């Protein structure tokens, strides 16, 4: 059977949550949320909504049997606001009705009286007012910046800003809760983290974890937006199920999803950088003001990764990176591809750009001089191992000829007045593992059936990244059989307990290694069974290749199917549970030192753009990269993930602008107001070259994670556009504030002069 997700997607046969056949009599929920960004709740009137036809229940905080709390890292986020609201979109009540339309209409009849309080939307303002998620700063450091400044020939200061980003997954937040016998509830939801939903629902409903079965079928995209923020809607559905005794389904529409959920964290960051005359970075200080929104969500962990990646792909001997998670009156911001890493890297690239301009140097000269070498230490103490920073740079420099790109750009700009080109180079170094060591664990349950077919169940959630296919490949490669014999099951907490979220680019690594261990255990039993049947000694080699038993180096007529059937008849266990905990990683949050990452991924990209000086619009001409894929087990998936990641990174830094007004209301809450890269914006050329790499690492079969690292290449698009603006107006005082929308590009050309 051709059991491929890609084929099912194209044929329209893939089943997502809203396609699932809900039980007869399923009720539907609609959320009533705060219309104010901050204020005290004086009254809540649901009387008119209760009278609306089809309404079965209206649930508020007082109806919660357990804790009114869904916070993860910090317990600071209520399921339903009860006395105070802290952002527009904060859930206040859930209307349960016969159908979605009735529920939505009834929700509009709920009346709430709120006394407004001060609204804060800017992280620096929040910092100045002492509005912080965590009161103390997080600090990563090495060397002594205080001592190092006197050794610098040049010192520059500046500020860099990065905006938010809407996840815009195709499938909006959705959940279905189904009552089971004995008071248990099954929750099917569009989540990257089924275990978080299980635990949180149990806490809110005041039941044990085993009373909640949590399942994720497959997601129509996640990008981090369903790691933590899928929880609220799933728990609401479970609460509605408990109160009504019926199945309850909640599916947000697009505008609700955009209004009610958090985004990528905006940052405002101040930096100070010191260099030698030759361009060597001697000292670097940076303060990150992270806009966390109204609750912690995953902000502290995201800030840690920002700090961990503040030096990017460079070795800097003296660093002090300070970070504050600032509480504002916006929806809690959350995980997004890169998990804070891109925000940290962007600031250093801005500092290098500023220094290069003042020192009359090319930024790529400073970049190249400071690239990581083998054994260099990061500010958090870990040293590079199998460092590919310079190898990727040199390969890209050779293959794509940076000097020719520079020459061609200059020649074009000399010959054209109304169009200007720009280019920039971006090296990437990204650590792979959860920064919270505890989360670096995974399990896999593998069944081999008597007919030779294989079932693999893990904690990995398929959301378009191809993890199911990779896990099937792991099983097939381990067993020596065709991948068509292997099926990936939906992720379910009754099959795999205590799962970590599918995030941090670690889904294939950890779950793949767990699957390899489980398959290896079954394979060992099958080999021993064959030896006994063939009267071989335990030392005589037996392998399985291409579906046949290979005994003592010779192919036999025993097929995989014959072997599994025989093993079943002889009462051999054909099931195994594999558990994998990433080895050799640790981190001490008290000292902010350790080895938090299993390995690092490297790469270098050059991006060229063409700017229309009359309109401010632009095209991305090309994206060319040399990327450290490790030993890829599926080059097609890896290449597509790299291309998708870099396009999402380019979108974040160019077209995608999240806008709130001073009252905390999201202005860009429709797809007519929020722009993402479409097919017409796609670069004319995208080229990813695989760096030859057979080094041993923690990825399964020496592959490397692919989901997040290429996202950071998009930073080059921003600085390529800045260079194009400077080519149009050399006196332009470009404020380093992303995204560089066409409007900003235009104003930077024709706005205030130095």
Token pair 């790469």 in the structure block, residue = 603
> Rounded to whole angstroms, how far apart are CA atoms 230 and 72?
12
H or E segment to which residue 132 belongs: none
Backbone φ, ψ for residue 233 (5° rounding): -70, -35
Q: Which residues of 181-216 are buried (b: 16+ CB within 10 A; e: fewer)?
A: eeeebbbbbbbbbbbbbbbbbbbbbebebebbbbbb
> Rounded to whole angstroms, how far apart are CA atoms 652 and 165?
6
CB 17 within 8 A of CB 178: no
> Rounded to whole angstroms, how far apart are CA atoms 684 and 14?
31
> Rounded to whole angstroms, how far apart are CA atoms 435 and 450?
41
Residues 6+ apart with CB under 8 A from 164: 263, 264, 265, 266, 291, 333, 658
Which residue in 128, 708, 743, 752 is the catalytic one? 708
Q: Which pairing describes strands 154-162 and 138-142: parallel, antiparallel, or unpaired? A: unpaired
Of 288, 287, 290, nearest to 330 by C-alpha is 290
**Sign, Cα dihedral of 579, 211, 301, 174:** positive
Which bin fits 183, alpha (ψ -120 to 50), beta or left (φ > 0)?
left
747: exposed, middle or buried (C-beta count within 10 Å: 0-12, 13-18, 19+)?
Answer: middle
How far the first Cα of the chain sits from its last, in Å, is 66
- Report DSSP letters for 435-489, one per residue: SSGGG-EEEEEEEE-TTS-EEEEESPPPSSS-HHHHHHHHHHHHHTS-GGGEEEP
Q: Using alpha carbons only, how large is the chain's radius of gyration in Å?
A: 27
> Rounded to whole angstroms, how far apart are CA atoms 398 and 636?
24
> Rounded to whole angstroms, how far apart are CA atoms 425 and 364?
7
- 708 part of the active site: yes
Residues 6+ apart with CB under 8 A from 532: none
Q: Name the residues annotated as catalytic.
A: 708
């Amino acid at each position: 059977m051709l059991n491929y997700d890609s084929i099912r997607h194209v044929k329209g046969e893939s089943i997502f949550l809203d396609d699932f056949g809900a039980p007869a009599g399923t009720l539907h929920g609609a959320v009533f949320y705060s219309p104010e960004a901050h204020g005290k709740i004086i009254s809540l009137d649901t009387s008119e909504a209760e009278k609306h036809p089809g309404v079965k229940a209206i649930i508020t905080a007082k109806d919660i049997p357990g804790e009114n709390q869904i916070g993860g890292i910090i317990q600071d986020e209520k399921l339903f606001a009860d006395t105070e609201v802290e952002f527009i979109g904060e859930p206040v009540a859930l209307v349960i009705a016969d159908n979605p339309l009735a529920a939505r209409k009834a929700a509009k009849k709920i009346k709430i009286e709120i006394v407004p309080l001060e609204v804060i939307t800017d992280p620096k303002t929040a910092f100045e007012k002492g509005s912080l998620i965590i009161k103390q700063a997080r600090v990563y450091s090495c060397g002594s910046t205080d001592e190092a400044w006197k050794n610098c020939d040049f010192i520059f200061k500046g500020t860099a800003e990065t905006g938010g980003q809407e996840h815009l997954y195709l499938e909006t937040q959705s959940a279905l809760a189904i009552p089971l016998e004995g008071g248990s509830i099954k929750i099917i939801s569009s989540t990257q983290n089924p275990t978080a939903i299980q635990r949180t629902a149990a806490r809110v409903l005041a039941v044990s974890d085993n009373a909640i079965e949590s399942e994720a079928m497959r997601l129509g995209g996640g990008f981090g937006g369903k790691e933590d923020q899928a929880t609220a809607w799933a728990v609401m559905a479970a609460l509605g199920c408990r109160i009504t005794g019926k199945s309850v389904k909640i599916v947000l529409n697009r505008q609700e999803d955009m209004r009610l959920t958090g985004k990528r964290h905006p940052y405002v960051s101040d930096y100070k950088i010191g260099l030698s005359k030759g361009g060597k970075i001697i000292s670097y200080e940076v303060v990150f003001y992270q806009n966390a929104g109204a609750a912690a969500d995953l902000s502290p962990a995201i800030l840690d990764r920002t700090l961990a990646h503040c030096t990017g792909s460079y070795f800097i001997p003296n660093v002090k990176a300070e970070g504050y998670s600032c509480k504002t009156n916006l929806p809690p911001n959350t995980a997004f591809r890169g998990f804070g890493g891109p925000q940290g890297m962007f600031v250093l690239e801005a500092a290098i750009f500023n220094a290069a301009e003042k020192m009359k140097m090319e930024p790529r000269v400073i970049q190249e001089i400071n690239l990581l070498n083998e054994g260099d230490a990061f500010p958090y103490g870990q040293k590079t191992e199998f460092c590919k920073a310079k190898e990727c740079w040199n390969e890209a420099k050779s293959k794509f000829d940076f000097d020719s790109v520079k020459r061609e750009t200059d020649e074009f700009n000399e010959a054209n007045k109304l169009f200007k080109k720009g280019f920039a180079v971006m090296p990437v170094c990204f650590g792979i593992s959860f920064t919270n060591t505890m989360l670096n664990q995974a399990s896999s349950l593998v069944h081999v059936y008597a007919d030779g077919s294989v079932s693999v169940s893990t904690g990995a959630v398929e959301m378009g990244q191809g993890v199911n296919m990779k896990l099937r490949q792991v099983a097939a490669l381990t067993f020596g059989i065709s991948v068509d014999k292997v099926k990936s099951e939906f992720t379910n907490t009754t099959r795999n307990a205590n799962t970590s979220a599918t995030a941090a680019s670690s889904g294939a690594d950890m779950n793949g290694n767990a699957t390899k261990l489980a398959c290896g255990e079954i394979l060992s039993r099958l080999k021993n069974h064959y030896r006994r049947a063939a009267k071989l000694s335990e030392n005589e080699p037996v392998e399985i290749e291409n579906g046949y038993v290979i005994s003592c180096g010779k192919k036999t007529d025993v097929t995989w199917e014959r072997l599994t059937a025989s093993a079943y008849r002889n009462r051999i266990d054909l099931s195994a549970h594999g558990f994998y905990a990433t080895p050799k990683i640790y981190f001490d949050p008290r000292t902010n030192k350790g080895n938090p990452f299993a390995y690092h991924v490297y790469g270098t990209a050059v991006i060229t753009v063409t700017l229309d000086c009359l309109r401010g619009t632009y095209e991305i001409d090309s994206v060319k990269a040399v990327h450290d894929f490790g030993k890829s087990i599926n080059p097609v998936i890896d290449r597509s993930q790299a291309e998708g990641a870099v396009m999402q990174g380019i979108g974040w830094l160019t077209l995608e602008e999240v806008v709130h007004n001073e009252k905390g209301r999201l202005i860009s809450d429709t797809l007519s107001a929020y722009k993402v890269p479409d097919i017409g914006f796609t670069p004319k050329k995208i080229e990813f070259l695989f760096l030859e790499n057979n080094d041993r690492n923690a990825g399964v079969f020496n592959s490397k994670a692919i989901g997040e690292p290429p996202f950071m290449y998009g930073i080059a698009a921003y600085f390529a556009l800045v260079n194009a603006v400077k080519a149009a107006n050399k006196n332009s005082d470009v404020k380093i504030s992303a995204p560089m929308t066409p409007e900003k590009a235009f104003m930077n050309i024709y706005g205030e002069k130095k």
